[in-house]
Structures are given as C-alpha cells and as structure tokens.
C-alpha cells in the first residue's frame, strides 16, 4: 500500500503544546505511550460543545438536548466505522481501557465456575492482569500466563500448550506498552476460538498506530482509550460482539440503562444503553469522534510508515551510546524504545533529561511482571508519535549522553 508523505512541520502546527518550553528548553514530548497530545481541531470541538449546546442527552425534548444527543450518537457511528464493528450498538462508551476491561471481567463473574481457565499474556499492563486475578478469586477459575522470551515476544508454542477445553477466556494486548511488541493477535484469536474460548484484546497502545478491523479479526471484545489517539482523557470504548454483550449482565445500575423500574422489578434497556448508566461524558464522546476524524485525515498508513522511520532512527542513535541496552527487540514492534544504561537507575536518567526539556517515562510502566522477567527495576521509555521529529531524537540522545556523563 502506497502511503503519502507526512509533512511533520505542518502537523506540528496543530499541536499548541509543542510550542512551549520546559525548564527553559523547547519541549520534546516522548511520553506518547502514556498519553498523546491533542490537536487544536479536537480542542475546538470541545470548546464548541460547551459554548453552544452543552446539555444532557437521550432524555430531553428541548433543542440543546437533541443536538447533543445527535452529536454523541454520531460519534458512536464514527467509532463503529473506524473499527469496522458490525453495528453501532456494539460500541459501548466508557471512561477508558481500564473501565472497559473491568466491565467485561464483572460480566464474566456470573459465567465462570471452578475448574474453568483463563489465559493472559506475560506482556500485559496491570489493568489487564488485576481484573482477571480478581475474577478468578471470585469464581474459582484458574489464571494461566503465556510466557515471553528475551526479545519481548510471546512464546506461541507455550500458548498452544496452555489451551484446552477448560479455557473460557483469553486476554492479550495488541501492542505492549512497555516494549512496543506487536503481538500476533490474529493467531491468538483463531487458536482460542478453536477450543471455544472468548478473546479480549487490549488495544490501548495499538490504536494510535494501526487501524484494527473488528470483523476481520473476529475478536469478541476490543478495548481502547481516546487519550492515546489525540482525544480527551476520561473517554474510551468497549467493542463487543452483539451476542456476547447480550449475555453479560449490566456493570452498573442507574439512569439510562433501564427500560422500566418498579420497586418489585427492573428491566434493562437494550444495547448500548444497558452498559451506559448515568450521565455520560458527552463532550468526551464527541471529541473522541473528532480525534478519529483527525487521525484518519492524516492516514494510518502514513502514520505507521513515518513512526517506523523514527523507531529505526532512534534505535540506531541510542545504541551508539556505550553501555545502553534496549529491552524489547521483537521483530514486529511499534515506535517505543525502552532502555537502560548499565549502572544507572532509570529514574535518574529521566530526571536529568527532564531538566533539558525532554519528557520520557521511567519505571515499570504498569507492567511489573515484564521488569521482573528482565530482573530490572524499570526502564527509560521513549515513545514516538507522528508529530515527533528526528531532530528531537537527536536532542534525546544528547541529553542521555549528558546524563550518563553526570551519573558515572
């Protein structure tokens, strides 16, 4: 597929924050895996909502309520079309990936029993580990783990050995937030379905870089956060196949998710409202749709091609620093580089490069089992987005060299 050239300087004009200084230095923002920055096109949508038609939705007959309802539901359709879900009501709006995962885990609390098995991967974020541990404690099911190798790749031979007739659920991230590894989710889904298990894919780290197709993947559940995709915080989505969403009980009770309420009995609304109790983040949903429009206008093929250039350039330049080791060298990975310098704590490096205006993440990145595997306290993580430049990577390399000089 041919991709268009990305005019990064023109793109950077859309992001006001990139013009600011930190500690007297131009901001270099390399913490995109934690949260991406927001373009003014999305900010304008947020201001427009609160300036012109801020209202509660689905319940009002007045004009503002109808306008807000229409915009919110149009955003749901944008998300549906972006992810190629079969129906709009297979998209549930949530507060983010963690909320989405917990909704599914709560639902399966009434479906699992002792003797059932659930599988997670060794590359998971804590939010795709802890809910399943809680679920297993509640139901008596057993949690099993797909191991990883030194390159930060899942051992697919071991995955096949873990699968059995007792496997009911498999959970895996699409891309590792800590290492950038792109997991073979097509194979994971297919093999899980062969034993009758459902699959949830954590797409939080994938959606800024690729455009997942729900129907082509045949995945049962897929979750994502808007703030990783140039959208607002506190907004995300749960995709679920209609048949699975119908099986799961509501996550919360309250307004909007009901059909009828009496003191004797309550009946629940249909999808998607069954899972959307209370007043939603109306503005967040509308802004999520605007962020998807923005990224699609650039093109995910163009984004992926450019970010791969940044990954290759950054990897080459950082490895020129003596004593620097990169963790996560999978054949298929996205624009994330996790590294350490021998004898130096990652926090110390992060602190010094921040003084030079460069934002990186240090620590275990909510993926402590990965750090335990490598027997390290954490890493320095530089994560690149389509609005970053090779010149910024040069600034990072110079800053890391200075930190090394100061700390050794």
Mean pLDDT of 123-147: 95
Confidence of residue 2 (pLDDT cuts 50, 70, 90): very low
144-169: per-residue pLDDT in tens? 999 999 999 999 999 999 999 999 99
Instruction: Answer whether residue 1 shows pLDDT above 50.
Output: no
Catalytic site residues?
Answer: 366
Give the pLDDT of residue 40. 98
Query: pLDDT-based confidence at 392, cuts 50/70/90?
Result: very high
pLDDT surpassing 70 at residue 3? no
* 262-272 pLDDT, tens digit each: 888 888 888 99
pLDDT at res. 374 = 96
Q: Where are the domains positioned within the chain?
A: 8-30+299-403, 43-296
| Interatomic CA distance for residues 327 and 178, integer angstroms | 9
Tell me which of 345 and 4 has the higher pLDDT. 345
Residues 407 and 352: beta-carbon distance below 8 Å: yes
What integer best gives the mean pLDDT of the chain? 96
13-66 tens-digit pLDDT: 999 999 999 999 999 999 999 999 999 999 999 999 999 999 999 978 899 999
**Is the separation of the CB atoms in 380 and 348 below 8 Å?**
no
Domain 8-30+299-403, classified CATH 3.30.160.60, yes or no: no
Give yes or no for a contact between 119 and 151, defined as CB atoms under 8 angstroms apart. Answer: no
Give the torsion through C-alpha atoms of 211, 204, 119, 155, to 10 deg: 70
Q: Which residues of 168-182 are buried (b: 16+ CB within 10 A; e: fewer)?
A: bbbbbbbbbbbbbbb
43-296 in CATH: which number?
3.40.640.10
Whole-number pLDDT of residue 6: 92
């Amino acid at each position: 597929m041919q991709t268009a050239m990305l005019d990064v300087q023109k793109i950077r004009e859309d992001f006001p924050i990139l013009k600011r200084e930190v500690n007297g230095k131009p901001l270099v923002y390399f913490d995109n895996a934690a949260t991406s920055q927001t373009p003014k096109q999305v900010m304008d949508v947020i201001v427009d909502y609160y300036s012109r038609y801020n209202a509660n939705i689905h319940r009002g007959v007045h004009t503002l309520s109808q306008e807000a309802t229409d915009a919110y539901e149009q955003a749901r359709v944008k998300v549906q079309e972006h992810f190629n879900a079969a129906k709009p009501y297979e998209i549930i709006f949530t507060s983010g990936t963690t909320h989405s995962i917990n909704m599914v885990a709560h639902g399966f609390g009434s479906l699992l029993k002792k003797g059932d098995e659930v599988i997670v991967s060794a590359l998971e974020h804590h939010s795709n580990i802890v809910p399943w541990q809680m679920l297993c404690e509640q139901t008596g099911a057993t949690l099993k783990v797909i191991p990883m190798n030194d390159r930060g790749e899942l051992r697919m031979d071991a995955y096949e050995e873990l699968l059995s007739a007792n496997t009911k659920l498999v959970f895996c991230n699409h891309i590792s937030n800590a290492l950038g590894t792109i997991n073979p989710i097509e194979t994971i889904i297919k093999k899980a379905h062969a034993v009758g298990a459902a699959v949830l894919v954590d797409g939080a780290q994938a959606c800024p870089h690729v455009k997942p197709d729900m129907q082509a993947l045949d995945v049962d559940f897929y979750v994502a956060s808007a703030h990783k995709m140039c959208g607002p915080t506190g907004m995300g989505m749960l995709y679920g196949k209609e048949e699975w969403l119908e099986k799961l009980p509501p996550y919360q009770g309250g307004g909007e998710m009901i059909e009828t309420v009496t003191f004797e009995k309550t009946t629940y609304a249909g999808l998607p409202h069954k899972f959307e109790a209370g007043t939603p983040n109306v503005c967040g949903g509308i802004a999520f749709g605007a962020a998807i429009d923005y990224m699609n206008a650039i093109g995910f093929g163009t984004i992926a091609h450019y970010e791969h250039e940044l990954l290759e350039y950054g990897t080459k330049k950082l490895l020129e620093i003596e004593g620097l080791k990169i963790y996560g060298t999978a054949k298929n990975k996205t624009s994330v580089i996790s590294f350490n310098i021998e004898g130096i704590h990652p926090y110390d490096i992060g602190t010094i490069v921040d003084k030079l205006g460069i934002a990186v993440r240090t620590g275990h990145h909510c993926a402590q089992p990965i750090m335990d595997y490598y027997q390290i306290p954490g890493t320095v993580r530089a994560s690149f987005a389509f609005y970053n430049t090779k010149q910024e990577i040069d600034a990072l390399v110079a800053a890391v060299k200075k930190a090394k000089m100061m700390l050794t």
